[in-house]
Amino acid sequence: MTRSAARRPVLEVEDVHTYYGDAYVLQGLSLALEQGTILGILGRNGVGKTTLVNTIVGFNPPRRGRVLFKGEDVTRLSSFETVRRGMGLVPQGRRVFPTLTVEENLRVAERGGGRRGWSLDRVYALFPRLLERRSQRARTLSGGEQQMLAIGRGLMTDPDCLIMDEPSEGLAPIVIQGVWEAIAKLKAEGLSILLVEQNAALAVKLVDFVHVVSKGQVVYSAEPRELWANEAVKAAYLGI
């Protein structure tokens, strides 16, 4: 691989403008996720974080602007196509299939043949709890276990980048710790991660760089330590 190819961001969002009907939500948002890093997207409820995820994955394409994945323009592709190309999604609210077992939930997401070689065995190695519960229906799992299952399902698509929308939402601190340790392991294995979070205190423990979003725009960008030291930004945009 050439030097420039090695340095190309895995995911690039260029000046996207996204609407729901007449509601103008993303108002010119850009970002670049560097290979093997975790980029945090922080902001209060309703600022457009999930809309950004939907725009990237293809559920709600932008009216203007572009999304590039591994250098390819994927702006107009469906979510089916973007996932097939290696975008892994862990949606807000987990969205596991309640009546399927743990293993069935993982199997339905299997893409196979990928270069990173994510498999059932590797997901179970990352989350031994899921192995113990492999035959249980997903609805009988705790919130933390369901989050692990949602991450496992994202991994089963064998992604080059994992997009996680509020993985800490509704979880107890002790449970979050386990999920955070798993995300750190994924990064250590070289996976590129877009971590969308409302909980800034948790996100700064993991991310390499952060963008703070307000009203559909990036209003502040920094390394996590710098963000944490900036009381004005925390008060204005993160409610801390």
Ligand X SMILES: Nc1ncnc2c1ncn2[C@@H]1O[C@H](COP(=O)(O)OP(=O)(O)O)[C@@H](O)[C@H]1O
Which residues are at the interface with ligand X (CB under 6 A)? 20, 23, 25, 43, 45-51
**DSSP classification of residue 4:** H
43 interacts with, out of ligand X, Mg ion, none, CB within 5 to 8 A per kind: ligand X
Q: By C-beta, is 92 or 105 nearer to ligand X? A: 92
Helices (H) and strands (E) in the chain, counts: 11, 10
Say how far apart CA 184 and CA 189 lie, in whole Å: 9
Q: How far is the CB of 236 from ligand X (least distance, A)?
A: 16
Q: Tell me how far apart the alpha carbons of residues 220 and 232 are, in angstroms, rounded to a whole number.
A: 11
Identify what 65 binds: Mg ion, ligand X, none; CB under 5 to 8 Å per kind: none
What is the smallest separation between the CB atom of 51 and Mg ion, expressed in angstroms?
8
Paired strand residues for 220:
212
Tell me whether residue 157 or residue 198 sits nearer to Mg ion (CB atom): 198
Out of Mg ion, ligand X, none, what residue 47 binds, judged by CB under 5 to 8 A for its kind, is ligand X
Q: How many residues does the chain have?
A: 240
**Which residue type occupies 86?**
G
User: Residue 50 or 147: which CB sits closer to Mg ion?
Assistant: 50
- Of 195, 231, 175, the C-alpha closest to 90 is 195
Read off the amino acid at residue 190. Answer: G
Least Å distance, CB 25 to Mg ion, is 11
- Please say which residue, 37 or 50, places its beta carbon nearer to Mg ion: 50
Distance from C-alpha of 236 to C-alpha of 30, rounded to nearest angstrom: 21
How far apart are the C-alpha atoms of 217 and 86, rounded to whole Å?
26
Residue 103: CB minimum distance to ligand X, A: 30
CB of 201 to Mg ion, least distance (A): 18
Which of 47, 102 has the CB closer to Mg ion? 47
